[in-house]
């Protein structure tokens, strides 16, 4: 059944509902069918929606939105084609926002983005020293200029000095030069690149 027919059924289109009745009667044969109950299900827009949504529960059971298998939708190997996946989502009227097995009208995006839904327990920090440090950083390191915020890197106070890597850098440079001397053309290109970077201020000679 295509999307347009489904929309007609949901809208309560009389012709579409009648066609469905006829097809049901052909499929069922001689068995009795309660037309009133079928019509009520297909046309009643006031039916209550189950809002006990467990889709955001981190411990919820795995269920594929595409094939109803026991795995997450992104792990589905039965329905790989993108167009088929989109068609299934539209047919089931699943939520495009977070692509889990619940209806669009049941979606609570605010709840979806909460840390608890990801299984993360955000513990409150009651450290007064930390709060004071953060406040001090906000006051001294963040400025607004030309409608843009500029922030400094939060350097650690009294941090130990890093050891120099001058000797290592020198040995590696000498090794590269020895290797490039075997290929004069490549050696010349390297020299041109380094000279260009020095002229543009990207690098400078060490003292």
How high is the pLDDT of residue 143?
A: 86
Kindly state whether residue 182 falls inside one of the protein's structural domains: yes
Kindly state whether residue 85 falls inside one of the protein's structural domains: yes
Q: Give the residue ranges of the chain where pLDDT is below 50.
A: 49-58
First to last CA, the chain: 78
Q: What are phi and psi of 74, to 5 degrees?
A: -70, -10
Using alpha carbons, select from 125, 139, 69 the residue that is nearest to residue 101.
69
Asked if residues 173 and 166 have their Cβ atoms less than 8 Å apart, the reply is no
Compute the residue count for the chain: 207
Q: Which residues contact 29 (CB under 8 A, 6 or more apart)?
A: none
Structural domain span for residue 90 = 73-118
How high is the pLDDT of residue 51?
A: 46
How high is the pLDDT of residue 56?
A: 44
Query: How many domains, the chain?
Result: 3
What's the sign of the alpha-carbon dihedral 122, 126, 130, 133? positive
Alpha-helical runs (H) found in the chain: 3-10, 14-28, 35-43, 82-92, 109-112, 128-141, 166-180, 184-199
Task: Identify the three-state secondary structure at position 149.
Answer: strand
The whole-model pTM stands at 0.26
Kindly state whether residue 192 falls inside one of the protein's structural domains: yes
What is 151-181 written as a DSSP string?
E---PPTTPPPPPP-HHHHHHHHHHHHHHHT
Kindly state whether residue 137 falls inside one of the protein's structural domains: no
How high is the pLDDT of residue 92?
A: 79
How high is the pLDDT of residue 54?
A: 45
């Amino acid at each position: 059944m295509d999307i347009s027919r489904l929309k007609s059924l949901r809208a309560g289109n009389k012709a579409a509902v009648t066609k469905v009745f006829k097809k049901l009667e052909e499929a069922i044969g001689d068995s009795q069918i309660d037309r009133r109950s079928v019509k009520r299900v297909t046309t009643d827009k006031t039916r209550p929606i189950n809002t006990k949504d467990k889709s955001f529960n981190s411990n919820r059971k795995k269920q594929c939105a595409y094939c109803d298998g026991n795995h997450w939708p992104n792990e589905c190997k039965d329905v790989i084609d993108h167009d088929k996946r989109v068609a299934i989502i539209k047919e089931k009227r699943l939520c495009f926002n977070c692509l889990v097995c619940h209806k669009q009208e049941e979606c609570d995006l605010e709840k979806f983005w909460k840390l608890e839904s990801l299984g993360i327990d955000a513990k409150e920090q009651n450290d007064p020293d930390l709060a004071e440090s953060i406040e001090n950083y906000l006051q001294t390191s963040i400025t607004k200029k030309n409608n843009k915020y500029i922030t400094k890197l939060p350097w650690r106070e009294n941090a130990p000095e890093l050891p120099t890597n001058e000797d290592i850098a020198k040995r590696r440079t000498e090794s590269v030069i020895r290797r490039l001397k075997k290929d004069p053309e490549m050696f010349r290109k390297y020299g041109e690149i380094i000279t260009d970077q020095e002229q543009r201020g990207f690098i400078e000679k060490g003292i």
